[in-house]
Structure 1
């Protein structure tokens, strides 16, 4: 759900027009549109590279993991999941909200990885590496904007 949708739904649930404070939030959202689109484009255009480099960084820190065992299927599955998170971060940036991560990406995530017997500490470290690679491709201003979305995933897995 985007910031705009949330503002409208909140006002509508109370049968009122958006308050001045809500209109300022909407105005700020519109002002940052170019930046949000730019960040989403960087993530989209570089997803594969972000995941590949992030995986390499992760394997340097944690060399003995299922994703680095030589089993191509496990490696591909791990990298597919990492790419999925990069895409969810792009959705969240565009929406200006953590809702896509919350509603699509983190519900039941701990249980899933526990059931697959994948150590959560590995997933957390892998996401840190993905974040580092993603923000290294951005300006400082864009990195500051996107960082909290990766942090949201890291917190959800911790």
Structure 2
């Protein structure tokens, strides 16, 4: 759900017009639209690079992990999931909200990885590596904006 959708739904649930403070939130959202689109485009166009280089960086730091076991199926599954998180982060950037990550990507995540017997600390480190790779492709201002979404995923795993 985007900030705009939330703003409208909140006002509508109280049968009122958006308050001046809410209008200001909307104005700020519109002002940052070009930046959010630019960031999402960088993530989309570079997803494979981010995943490949992020995985390599992760394997240097954590060489003994299922994704680096030589089992091509496990490696492909892990990298597919990494690409999925890059996409969810792009959705969240576009929405200006962590809601897409929360609603689609983080609810039940701990249980899933625990059931697969993948240490959560490994997933957090992998996300850190993906974040580093993604940020290396962006300006300082854009990196600051997208960083919070990677951090949100890492916090949800801690």
Any residues of structure 2 matched to 1:101-140 within 5 Å, and which?
101-140=101-140
Give the secondary-structure state (helix, strand or coil) at the position aligned to 1:28.
Answer: helix
Separation of aligned partners in 1, 2:74 and 2:49: 18
Superposition misfits of 4+ residues, deviation over 6 angstroms: none
**Map of 1:91 onto structure 2:** 91
Whole-angstrom CA distance in 1 between matches of 2:157 and 2:128: 11
For structure 2, which runs of at least 5 residues remain unmatched after alignment? none
The residue matched to 2:46 in structure 1 has which SS? helix
TM-score (norm 1): 0.99
Looking at structure 2, the residues matched to 49 and 111 of structure 1 have their Cα atoms a distance apart, in angstroms, of 28
CA-CA distance at 1:107 after TM superposition: 0.5
Gaps of at least 5 residues in structure 1 are none
Query: Normalising to structure 2: TM-score of the pair?
Result: 0.99
CA distance in structure 2 between the aligned counterparts of 1:125 and 1:85, rounded to whole angstroms: 14
CA RMSD of aligned residues (A): 0.4
Q: In structure 2, the residue corresponding to 1:137 is in which secondary structure?
A: coil
**What is the rounded CA distance, in whole Å, between the counterparts of 1:99 and 1:126 in structure 2?**
22
Distance in 1 (alpha carbons) for counterparts of 2:113 and 2:28 = 37
Task: Report the count of equivalent residues.
Answer: 158
Shift of 1:88: 0.2
Q: Give 1:41's aligned residue.
A: 41
